[in-house]
Structures are given as C-alpha cells and as structure tokens.
C-alpha cells in the first residue's frame, strides 16, 4: 500500500436517520445514529472524516454509508450495515479507500461485505 500521508482527505458519510426497518421512536436510538456513534469511537485513520447526514435515500437497504474524497476518486455507497457487526468492516474499507488515488480498492482487497453490498459507485468529477 502506498504512503498515504499526502492523500486527499476522505469523507465517511453516515445516514443517521436510518431506522433499518425497525419501529424506533427515539431519534437518538435509530440504528443510523448508533452506527454514527460507534464510528465516532472507532479508530479511523487521519484524513478520514466522519460526517453525519440526513437520509441517503437507501432506506430499504440500510444502514448505509458513503465514501468520497476529492475530484479524483470514485464515490461509493455501501448498504446493509449495522452498528454492532460492521464497524471493523467500515474502518477497514475506509482505510483502504483513503490509501487509493482514484477510490478503486482492488476487488480482492475489499472487505467481503463491501463486495456484496455496494449500492452504487459514481465516477470522479475529474474523470
């Protein structure tokens, strides 16, 4: 893996309004909010910035996150994540994404959950 010290910063967007189909009434206990809280406690690398967003509009396949980072990287949307099992997956995926110049982590190096739960990818503005 290349030296990442001068990489363009990455945003890890987490949909905090996601209910993951559950009848949750307390907004702070929504699965999306819990996922965001768990990631805020996790060891994300420098240069990966966690950001809460309201509704990524992928409600049927939540929880969802987005990885994006500057005009040269592809943006990725990942789905079917949860706050208890998938924190390590997201940290690993975000770390590897951050280490790329174009956002494309080689297929075999991606976490298995990311391989199987990509909702969409969007080309970089610079492409």
Which residues sit at the interface with a second copy, rule CB under 8 A? 13, 53, 55-58, 64, 66, 68, 75-77, 118-123, 127
Measured distance CA(33)–CA(4) in Å, rounded: 29
- The minimum distance between CB 61 and a second copy, in angstroms, equals 9
**Three-state secondary-structure class, residue 83:** coil
Smaller CB separation from a second copy, 29 or 123: 123
- The minimum distance between CB 66 and a second copy, in angstroms, equals 6
Smaller CB separation from a second copy, 40 or 127: 127
Smaller CB separation from a second copy, 2 or 108: 108
Smaller CB separation from a second copy, 22 or 120: 120
- The minimum distance between CB 109 and a second copy, in angstroms, equals 16
Which residue in 69, 122, 61 sits closest to 93, CA to CA?
69
Measured between alpha carbons, how far is residue 85 from residues 46, 71, 81 in Å?
23, 31, 8
Cis peptide before 63 (omega within 30 of 0): yes
């Amino acid at each position: 893996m290349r030296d990442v010290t001068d990489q363009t910063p990455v945003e890890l967007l987490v949909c905090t309004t996601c209910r993951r189909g559950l009848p949750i009434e307390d907004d702070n206990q929504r699965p999306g909010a819990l996922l965001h809280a768990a990631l805020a406690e996790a060891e994300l690398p420098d240069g990966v910035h966690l950001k809460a967003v309201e509704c990524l509009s992928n409600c049927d396949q939540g929880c969802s996150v987005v990885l994006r980072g500057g005009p040269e990287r592809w943006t990725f949307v990942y789905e079917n994540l949860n706050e208890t099992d998938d924190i390590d997956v997201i940290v690993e995926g975000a770390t590897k994404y951050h280490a790329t110049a174009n956002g494309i982590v080689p297929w075999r190096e991606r976490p298995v959950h990311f391989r199987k739960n990509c909702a969409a990818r969007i080309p970089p503005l610079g492409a």
